[in-house]
Amino acid sequence: MRISLKEIIKADLYRYEGAKTKKQMLKAYLTEAGANYMVWFRIAQRYNNIFTKFILKRKMYKYGIEIFPQTQIDKGFYIGHFGTIVVNPLAKIGKNCNISHGVTIGASQRGEKSGAPTIGDNVFIGPGAKIFGDIKIGDNVAIGANAVVIKDVPSGSLVGGIPAKIISDEGSSGYINHLS
């Protein structure tokens, strides 16, 4: 079942301060760069025309966020702080994920991990984290600041370091607010 554009935008905007009313959602759209970007991302993804792609491209330059309409992102996506965010168009991101500034979710072009990451539901990705290759990030995972993730991460893990290693089994509990 395909979710309506209105419902997916509402789910994204809800993640910002638990906005439920139209007034709160409009405030989030007008004051939060991540919310503003995601509204246009969703519109460009749904309508796929030159006008929406043009607006999204302008938002990319304005906010330093490079997420293309081809990227599969489930509802409730939250961009905590904008700036230098790059997501490969082949990446898949689950629902209620948080992404911070300086994050790269990229593809590897060689070896057994050639491809782009698949990220589960309720995942927190800390500032400066880098996630590369055809790897699977499980549900309820927290990825620490500046971590470099190049291997699969099981659900419920907290990872950090270069290369990232499992630090604990506390996962993303406490990092993800206002689940949609």
Query: Would you name the residues annotated as active-site residues?
Result: 81
- Side by side, which strands form the sheet with 130-132? 65-67, 85-87, 104-106, 130-132, 148-149
Q: Could you write out the DSSP letters of every residue in 57-84?
A: HHHHHHHTEEE-TTSEE-S--EESS-SS
Strands 85-87 and 130-132: unpaired
How far apart CA 170 and CA 113 sit, in angstroms, is 27
Tokens of 93: 């991101």
